[in-house]
Amino acid sequence: MLRAAKAVVLGILALAISWHQAAMAADCEVISATHSADTKGEALHMSRALAAKSADELKRKRGWSSVSMSPEKVKPDPFFKRVRPVVPQDVIYATFVTAKTYTTCFTGVVVNYVCTSGSKVCRN
């Protein structure tokens, strides 16, 4: 009897944990933003700014009162996918991680520099 009660309690606990994790996942979304520029600094700054703008747009779209952003590694996004469908490792020149974004920067095909910033945006 005691063994059966333990099994039921553990089952309920496992169900509660998985429900909580599913609810947390529903309150978060991964975003990415890519920007190209003539300088490394501008590409980095603008991709981060676009990530922040995307987080604000997500907040409005979902009707959330506030959000938090945390760095999330995403695949670098080449603009000209017909010319370069993926970004090879040898053209990536830097990664930058802040409290809000994970940014990968690489040399472009048509423009000098491109950066893709990723963030996990969660409702607070």
| Closest listed residue to residue 33, CA positions, set 25, 41, 45, 22 | 45
**Distant-in-sequence, close-in-space partners of 36: CB < 8 Å, separation ≥ 6:** 43, 79, 108, 110, 111, 112, 113, 114
Beta strands in 3-112 (DSSP E): 28-37, 67-71, 92-97, 102-107
Over residues 45-70, the pLDDT tens digits come to 999 999 999 999 999 999 999 999 99
Over residues 62-121, the pLDDT tens digits come to 999 999 999 999 999 887 778 788 898 999 999 999 999 999 999 998 889 999 999 999
Q: For the purposes of burial, counting CB atoms within 10 Å of the CB of 109, is it exposed (0-12), middle (13-18) or buried (19 or more)?
A: middle
